[in-house]
Amino acid sequence: MNAFRDARLSLGQLPPGAGGTLADVPGVRVGHHTIAHGEGANAIRTGVTAILPPGDPYAEPLPAGVFVLHGHGKALGLWQILHLGELETPILLTNTLAVPRCADALLTWTLARHPSARSVNPVVLECNDGRLSAIEARPVTEGDALAALGAGAEHVEEGCVGAGTGMVAFGLKSGIGTASRAVGSFTVGALALPNMGRREDLRPPPGLPAPARASPPDQQGATGSLIVVLATNAPLSPEQLSRLARRASLGAARTGAPATTESGDFTVAFSIGWRIPRGVERIPMELIADRSPTMGGLYRAAAEATEEAIYSALVAATPLAGRDGQVVPTVVRP
C-alpha cells in the first residue's frame, strides 16, 4: 500500500485498489532517477519520474485527456493531446528547466523503437525545485531521463525520489505520492507531484496531526505547482478523460491546494481500456455512458485518489537538506 495507507489513514467512500498506487491499473509502470549531490549554494536535489503505459504507445496510442486549472507552467505536449486525444509516449515529470532535455529523451526512446518516425509528441510536466536545488545549474541530462524510463516498475516508490526529490508543499517536505480507487471492475490510479501551498493552507485528513503554523508565514508557498497523472482501465473517450482530469482538482482542493496566480496546475488522464492504432480509419469500441452510475463513480474515484496521493506524498517524504543547508520540516506521522 501507499504511505498514507501504511500510516493507517483512510479517506473517501470508495475502496483503494489492490496496491493503493497508480500501478494498480494493469501494465502501468513508474520509474525514478534521483539526482542528489553537493552542499551549500550548489546543492542539487532533483530528478526525473517516468510513467510508462503498457504496450507500445507510439504504434498504438492511448486515449488521453488534459485539464489545466492554472497554466503558469512549462508543460510540453499537451496541445496535441487536447486536440487529438492521444498519448503516444510515456510521461516524464521533472524540474522546470529540465523539460527540453526530458523531451529529447522521449524522442530518443521512441526513435530507438520506431526509426521511421518523423513526428513524435513527447509529454513532459514540471514543478520548480529551485527552493532546495540549484536548478539554474541544469543538472538533469537526457541520460538521466532515459534512466528513469529504464527503471519502470510495478512497485511505485514514493517520497523524495525522482522528480519529487526537491518538492515542498504546504511548507512541508513533499515528493511523489500515489493512490488508487476501485469502481466495480475498473480502477483509477493517481500519481501526484505536489509543490504548492503554505502551512496555513493545508487541511489535514482525520488522523493526520495538523502541523504547527509557520512563523513568520511562509510566503514562498504562495507560488507553486501541482502535477497529477491519472490512469484507468475504464474504456473512456478523450472527452471523458478530460472531464475525469477535471475531478483531480476537486481532490486537490480538499487538501487546501490554493491554485494561485503563479501556479501550474496540470492533470493528464489516460486509459488503457482501448487503443488508437496508428493510421486506422475506424476504431471499434464500447464506451461507458456519460450519465451512467459507473461514470459518476469514476469521477469520484479521480477526486479521492488525487486527494490521497497528495497526502501520501507528504507522509512518505523524509528529511532532506537542500541548498544552503535548508531543511524543510516533514509532516508528523500518526
Positive or negative torsion for Cα 165, 56, 28, 83? positive
Instruction: Map residue 40 onto helix, strand or coil.
Output: helix
Residue with cell 536535489: 45
Spatial distance between the Cα atoms of 323 and 279, rounded to a whole number of angstroms: 49
Choosing from 24, 129, 201, 265, which is the catalytic residue?
265
**Is 190 within 8 Å of 182 (Cβ atoms)?**
no
Catalytic (active site) residue 174: no
Measured in whole angstroms, the distance separating CA 146 from the mean position of its chain's CA atoms is 18
C-alpha cell at 110: 521512441
> Which residue of the set 174, 225, 271, 312 is catalytic?
225
From the list 133, 180, 249, 263, the catalytic residue is: 263
> How many other C-beta atoms can be found within 10 angstroms of the C-beta atom of residue 120?
17
What is the rounded distance in angstroms from the CA atom of residue 51 to the CA atom of residue 31? Answer: 7
Alpha carbon separation from 178 to 30, 84, 155, 278 (Å, rounded): 11, 27, 11, 31
> Which residues partner with 193 through β-bridges?
227
DSSP code string of 16-28:
P-SSSSGGGSTT-
Cα separation, 218 vs 236, in Å, equals: 41
Instruction: Please give the Cα distance from 296 to 185 (Å, whole number).
Output: 14
Q: Is the peptide bond before 216 cis (omega within 30 degrees of 0)?
A: yes
d(CA 282, CA 196): 43
Question: Is 237 labeled as catalytic in the residue annotation?
Answer: no
225 is catalytic: yes
Q: Mind telling me the catalytic residues?
A: 225, 263, 265
